[in-house]
Structure 1
Amino acid sequence: MQGLNDFLLMLDGYLGSAGWFPYVLLGVGLFFTVYLKFPQIRYFGHAWRVVRGKYDVKNAMGDTTHFQALTTALSGTVGTGNIGGVALAIHIGGPAALFWMWATAFFGMTTKFVEVTLSHKYRVKTADGTMAGGPMYYMDRRLNMKWLAVIFAIATVISSFGTGNLPQVNNIAISMESTFGLDPILTGGVLTVLLALVILGGIRRIAKFTSRVVPLMAALYVIGALAVILYNYQNILPSLVSVFSDAFSGSAAAGGFLGASFAYAFNKGVGRGLFSNEAGQGSAPIAHAAAKADEPVSEGIVSILEPFIDTIIVCTLTGLVILSSGVWTEKHENSFQSADMKYIAGLYSDQSDEDRAALSSFLIGSNEANVESYSGTVVVKDGLAQSPGYTLINAHSVAENVQYLVGGHPYSGSIEIKDGSLINKELEVKGDSLIHSAALTTKAFTRGFFGDFGQYIVSIGLLLFAFSTAIAWSYYGDRAITYLLGVRAVMPYRVFYCAGFMWAAVADTTVVWNLAAVAIVLMTLPNLFGIMMLFKEMKTTVADYWSDFYQQRSEHKD
């Protein structure tokens, strides 16, 4: 797993975590926002009227209503990114990361409007009578770039596992184990059976399921979040101030948090924002292509609501829960995962400003302080290292009260550490450190009016969020498989998808998140390139829509 994780980190270093990627993503959204004159603001009210069915046309081609298409797409975006992803961004980048998630969502509203409109415009009816659409179809049918369409479709299949499948069940399993003590294998097995029962019914069953579950899970989560935020009302304003004040300067060290630079917060905020709302990734257009609408722009306008609901509302609630409760700077007892651990030579303390600066530099990769990884043999007696001569970093914090266990019992013997990594993989390492992802959000939800009961809201919310995301992404994957190999290949894909869902329940969390980060970019780059190629057509299509819209309203009045 360590080798796989290192490989994924290397790829991500050239892709999503590279300095150029956030600028490309935000740049495309900024360009279309200015070019189309801020449609996310001007069309916002119209979007709500369309989704309520005010302008529905009888006998329009499609498989789902506007509302069902929206909830299906939302079920694909409102998932672990809103619960675990926000927590991970704040854990690494501090409060400033939330600001850049907002920026990604604001410009992403326009990006999603463009990609959904163009994909809906070039959708097709498949051999089984259902609609199929997505960026691969406009790339093929309009740009005549079948090679690019194939790349995108392959990336979609990969991303259906890396984004919609593996991280979702992984976070569910962790949450269920920490809250209810359920074995991850049991959680994975039960949910895999339920997943299979839903996705075998195709888009109509998926849309019916999501249209009922999404509003319920959103209401439950909002109530739980407000119970924490209002309980810690005195911290609301300071939390918001820190989000804005740190946006262009980075976040200073606080408690166990070692601090983060502007560049790190910017990169992680934009990356987590994309993972959360998927604007520019090209996934949502696949769901919207099934909507009953003869006007592609009308469906594009509906999609403007997705980043707003997903990131501006839900992610903000999660962020304020974490910041106002203060748990993001606190160390908690937890089991360390190998991908989160790093042994460094020498003794460092997070109580020293000099040491914090050195460690922060090391963790973000600049390492101006020349901190070195540790290698050597360490004697352990009754679970405790004897005069180790190293500092263990876990989850971007200095680990304390570290114990080494085997089968739940204290270990005595020697441990081997090479280049900062523990060689003895059979050992369980426990101690106090910062926590991240779903575990951090779960802990934060216990700091409100509901007390410890708040953790159950997160667990149930995560179960509904993540499970519905996995369902939506199975549809995205099978539409991509349909494009690549035809309808016959859909069933084998669904079987493999369910098998991956089962495996990820017991996989390493960090490895799963890093796989997701790579898969997202493999979809996003071809899609951003494609919509930029069609920027003039997009403007003409929008102008034609409004011309016809006002003409029809004038004729109706007459």
Structure 2
Amino acid sequence: MALPIIDAVLGPPVGLVNSVLWNYVLTYGLLAVGLWFTLRLRGIQLRRFPHMLGLVTRGTHGDSSGISPFQALATSLAARVGTGNLAGVAIALSVGGAGALFWMWCTAVLGMATAYAESSLAQLYKVRDDAGQYRGGPAYYIERGLRMRWLGIAFALSLLLSYGAIFSSVHANAIAQSAGAAFGLGQGTIAVALVVLTAAIIFGGLRSVARFSEWVVPVMALGYLALAAWVVLTNLDRVPGVLALVLRGAFGLDAAAGGALGALTAAMLQGVKRGLYSNEAGMGSAPNIAAAATPVPHHPASQGLVQSLGVFIDTLLVCSATGFVILLAGVPLDAADGVLLTQRAMTVFFGDAGSVFVAIALFFFAFTTILGNYSYAENNLLYLGGGRRGLLVLRLVTLAVVAWGVYSKVQVVWDAADASMAIMSTINLVAILLLSGVVVRLTRDYDAQLRAGRRPEFRIAEHAEIADGVDAEIWLERRG
């Protein structure tokens, strides 16, 4: 009786919030903000792309205050690369057609600039916690950069509700359904295994999550990309036809004259929404882990570039891999269950082993997302003043949510998490727009040092115009 009552009471207002924010404000707002930063920063995601790759290969060591840039990238990818890369892409194709993939690409290119901006700000306004560990993110740059603590608290609470209390159940449920279908495992077995594995990592805190992600995420992503690459290479003669299908679908060219606009709109909306949901650019999630890194070189912009690369990996590589496998398989794009559609595509190329592979991939994608979500929640709990007891409660709640998610699928609860994330994302977009002048100054400083042939280094004493709210001790230090 309780669930129908909850659904009746919460359903309409939650549905209204999601409809307005996701279908209008965020879908177009995130694109507009991405375009704004792309223009203001002179296409930094394109002109500095080779430099991004160099930063990742050099940034493999942290220190007593922060994790390494590579660990920060791996942890943000742990949260980004999840069920959306398997199920979300399939749903986008089934609803919006092949053209949705093109709009996912456009979303990623623009989102790379947004991701750069928010993570650069997170680095600039970071602080040290009581244990000497770097902490930062949207709540911190909203308070310290905009002097609006009340809005920082609103952001932190929204993130805790969505990432800390609910979203892990979504991924646990996906693991349970996939593993149950592929291996015949019971819900009790899956729940116990997930809780034990999750507890073993999150009770070690952020550094434990980062160390795990550093090793597992690259193997997970590279393995999936290698399999998709094999599919593409063995069907290379069909790739031009698939690309043509994507481009025609993106602009509604395959539809009858009267339906062209509708087809274009459907492809655009699905591609944009699924792309944004997957790579999370502009939502304010990844900056929480970006701030925890010791940047290499010692400049806020360098970590912004590293996290910008994360959007490229998530959408332009992993999501594209899923999209090409589905389109090359030629399976009907009418499956309601996204994972089922991806499994059908894999079985075309690998037989029954394809379904098993998707189940394994989904486990790693979803499990690492649970860990990444926890790291974001931990950061915001500490911002709100949660100490050791607060962290213990958060970890126990995370484990309880994981166990509950294996058994339950309460749509109104998940919709509430979507609404919470939409509010969180809207707050973050407003904040980074208001702080866009700071991002421009950071970028110009970084570019000028690169053009001069110097290793970029940021010292706040040389930037008095943006020093208010910045922890001077962190950015007065010289790094060799």
**One-letter identity of the residue aligned with 2:58:** G
**Structure 1 residue matching 2:89: 3-state secondary structure:** helix
The answer as to whether partners of 1:97 and 1:243 remain within 8 angstroms in 2 is yes
Residues 91 and 520 of structure 1, relative CA distance in 2, 3 Å threshold: farther
1:167 aligns with 2:170: yes
Residue 261 of structure 1: how far off its partner (Å): 3.4
> Looking at both structures, which has the greater relative contact order when contacts are Cα pairs under 8 Å and sequence separation is at least 6?
2
The answer as to whether partners of 2:82 and 2:365 remain within 8 angstroms in 1 is yes
Partner in structure 2 of residue 21 of structure 1: 26
Give a deviation string over 1:132-175, Cα, whole Å, max 9, x none: 11011010011001111111111111221477512211211111
**One-letter identity of the residue aligned with 1:322:** I
1:158 aligns with 2:59: no
Residues 266 and 163 of structure 1, relative CA distance in 2, 3 Å threshold: farther
**Structure 1 residue matching 2:91: 3-state secondary structure:** helix
**One-letter identity of the residue aligned with 2:319:** C
1:127 aligns with 2:107: no
What is the 5 A alignment of 1:384-533? 434-448=335-349, 450-488=350-388, 489-508=390-409, 514-515=415-416, 517-533=418-434
Unaligned runs of 5+ in 1: 254-258, 331-433
1:39 aligns with 2:77: no
Q: Distance in 2 between matches of 1:455 and 1:229?
A: 18
Residue 511 of structure 1: how far off its partner (Å): 5.7
Give a deviation string over 1:190-240, Cα, whole Å, max 9, x none: 112210110110121111100100111112212332344455555433332
What is the 5 A alignment of 1:124-523? 124-161=127-164, 164-230=167-233, 232-233=235-236, 235-249=238-252, 261-293=263-295, 294-329=298-333, 434-448=335-349, 450-488=350-388, 489-508=390-409, 514-515=415-416, 517-523=418-424
Q: Distance in 1 between matches of 2:370 and 2:455?
A: 44
1:116 aligns with 2:105: no
Report how many aligned residue pairs link the two structures. Answer: 444
Residues 444 and 285 of structure 1, relative CA distance in 2, 3 Å threshold: same
Give a deviation string over 1:324-381, Cα, whole Å, max 9, x none: 2122436xxxxxxxxxxxxxxxxxxxxxxxxxxxxxxxxxxxxxxxxxxxxxxxxxxx
The answer as to whether partners of 1:169 and 1:505 remain within 8 angstroms in 2 is yes
**Structure 2 residue matching 1:22: 3-state secondary structure:** helix
**One-letter identity of the residue aligned with 1:537:** V
Residues 522 and 186 of structure 1, relative CA distance in 2, 3 Å threshold: farther
1:79 aligns with 2:62: no
Give every structure 1 segment of 4 or more consecutive aligned residues whose post-TM-superposition deviation is greater than 6 Å: 58-61
Q: Distance in 2 between matches of 1:99 and 1:509?
A: 32
TM-score, normalised via structure 1 length: 0.74
Partner in structure 1 of residue 471 of structure 2: none
Residue 436 of structure 1: how far off its partner (Å): 2.2
Q: Distance in 2 between matches of 1:59 and 1:217?
A: 23
Residue 20 of structure 1: how far off its partner (Å): 3.9
The answer as to whether partners of 1:123 and 1:133 remain within 8 angstroms in 2 is yes
Q: Distance in 1 between matches of 2:199 and 2:242?
A: 42
1:30 aligns with 2:35: yes
Q: Distance in 2 between matches of 1:516 and 1:440?
A: 25
Give a deviation string over 1:300-326, Cα, whole Å, max 9, x none: 111121111100011001011112212
Give a deviation string over 1:34-90, Cα, whole Å, max 9, x none: 111000011111111111117x8x986732111111111111101111111111211
The answer as to whether partners of 1:15 and 1:521 remain within 8 angstroms in 2 is yes
Residues 329 and 512 of structure 1, relative CA distance in 2, 3 Å threshold: farther
Q: Distance in 2 between matches of 1:233 and 1:507?
A: 42
Partner in structure 2 of residue 411 of structure 1: none
The answer as to whether partners of 1:221 and 1:457 remain within 8 angstroms in 2 is no
**Structure 1 residue matching 2:22: 3-state secondary structure:** coil
The answer as to whether partners of 1:80 and 1:167 remain within 8 angstroms in 2 is no
The answer as to whether partners of 2:166 and 2:401 remain within 8 angstroms in 1 is no
**Structure 2 residue matching 1:15: 3-state secondary structure:** helix
Partner in structure 2 of residue 382 of structure 1: none
**Structure 2 residue matching 1:486: 3-state secondary structure:** coil
Q: Distance in 2 between matches of 1:511 and 1:145?
A: 31
Q: Distance in 1 between matches of 2:214 and 2:63?
A: 20
Which is richer in helix?
2
Give a deviation string over 1:448-471, Cα, whole Å, max 9, x none: 1x2211112111111111111110
Unaligned runs of 5+ in 2: 458-480
TM-score, normalised via structure 2 length: 0.86
The answer as to whether partners of 1:224 and 1:457 remain within 8 angstroms in 2 is no
The answer as to whether partners of 2:279 and 2:314 remain within 8 angstroms in 1 is yes
The answer as to whether partners of 1:97 and 1:247 remain within 8 angstroms in 2 is yes
Residue 509 of structure 1: how far off its partner (Å): 8.0
**Structure 2 residue matching 1:178: 3-state secondary structure:** helix
Give a deviation string over 1:95-154, Cα, whole Å, max 9, x none: 122122111110000000000000110011111222111011010011001111111111
Structure with greater Cα Rg: 1
Bigger shift: 90-99 or 32-41?
90-99
Q: Distance in 1 between matches of 2:15 and 2:456?
A: 59
Partner in structure 1 of residue 110 of structure 2: 107
The answer as to whether partners of 1:275 and 1:520 remain within 8 angstroms in 2 is no
**One-letter identity of the residue aligned with 2:91:** L
Partner in structure 2 of residue 88 of structure 1: 91
